[in-house]
Amino acid sequence: MDISQERWNADAQKVTLACAQCGSRNYTAAKQIRRLGERRMANKFCSTCNKHTIHRETE
Ligand SMILES: [Zn+2]
């Protein structure tokens, strides 16, 4: 039994990143990204907007 391993798996649940401008759900990412930035958003390329936009984490 390795409790730390179980906790790691729980933290790795996938979330969706959606474009803040058009709402398209373009990316999925592990919840671990929260540790890299507390704002839970990233600058990603949106094929709908055809440019880089802010993508917010959605459920
Ligand atoms: Zn977009």
Give the total number of structural domains in the chain: 1
Task: Give the tens place of pLDDT for each residue, 19-45.
Answer: 999 999 998 877 655 555 556 788 999
Residue 35 forms part of a structural domain? yes
Whether residue 53 is contained in a domain is answered as yes
Within-domain flag for 43: yes
Cα 28 to Cα 36: distance, rounded to the nearest angstrom = 15
Cα 1 to averaged position of ligand 1 atoms, centre (Å): 44
**Residue 46 pLDDT greater than 80, yes or no:** yes
Strand runs labelled E in the chain: 14-19, 25-30, 41-46, 51-58
Distance 11 CA to ligand 1 centre (A): 27
Write down the pTM of the prediction.
0.63
Q: Say which CATH number the domain at 45 has.
A: 2.20.28.120
Evaluate whether residue 7 is within a structural domain.
no
State the Cα–Cα distance between residues 18 and 25, nearest whole angstrom.
Answer: 4
If you measure from the C-alpha of residue 2 to the centroid of ligand 1, how many angstroms do you get, rounded to a whole number?
A: 42
The residue range of the domain holding 42 is 12-58
Which ranges of 1-59 does DSSP label H, i.e. alpha helix? 3-11
Distance (angstroms) between ligand 1 centre and the Cα of 47 equals 7
Q: Find the 51 Cα to ligand 1 centroid distance in Å.
A: 8
Report if residue 49 sits inside a domain. Answer: yes
On whether residue 52 sits in a domain, the answer given is yes
